[in-house]
Amino acid sequence: MRNKFLRDKIYVIETNIDDMSPVVYETVFEKLYGSGALEVFLTPVQMKKIRPGILLTALIPKNKLAKIAEVIFRETTSFGIRYHEAGRLKLIRKKPADSDMCCGIKMNKGYIGKELVSVSPEYSDCRKLAAKKKVPLKSII
């Protein structure tokens, strides 16, 4: 596996929430991403006393733990968080060059070793082009 993939270590940080209005999550997501979170997602869970709840999970660089924890404590009703280190394997990515563009859209390419195994359009470029052409985003993607 050596040199076939990129490897790094991240933290998985999570908290269960059962007493917060769902409309607040949009701001929580914005602030978590703005503070350096790599991924943020919600999972429905069943809490004690049979209450429905939400598991808020963020994948974060190890050096962002204190900053992300503070956002969670300030912006949610959480009184505690859990975190643990996780190893991560990633495809090797090469920064898109002008030759990697299609219709003004950067194409993200992922490699295992030197073998190209994944190509996907840059989402933000697709959104801009769809708005400019006044067509559905899915037709650009």
The pLDDT of residue 103 = 74
The pLDDT of residue 2 = 64
Backbone angles phi and psi of 59, in degrees to 5? -100, 125
Backbone angles phi and psi of 62, in degrees to 5? -60, -30
| Judgement on whether residues 56 and 120 belong to the same structural domain of the protein | no
Tokens of 57: 């999970």
The answer, yes or no, to whether residue 38 has pLDDT greater than 80, is: yes
Range of the domain at 131: 92-140
pTM: 0.82
| Judgement on whether residues 13 and 82 belong to the same structural domain of the protein | yes
Which of 28-37, 67-76, 126-135 is the least confident region? 126-135
Query: Does residue 1 fall inside a structural domain?
Result: no
Query: Does residue 104 fall inside a structural domain?
Result: yes
pLDDT exceeding 90 applies to what percent of the chain? 74
Contact 14, 83 (CB under 8 A): yes
Chain Cα centroid distance, residue 71: 16
| Judgement on whether residues 86 and 53 belong to the same structural domain of the protein | yes
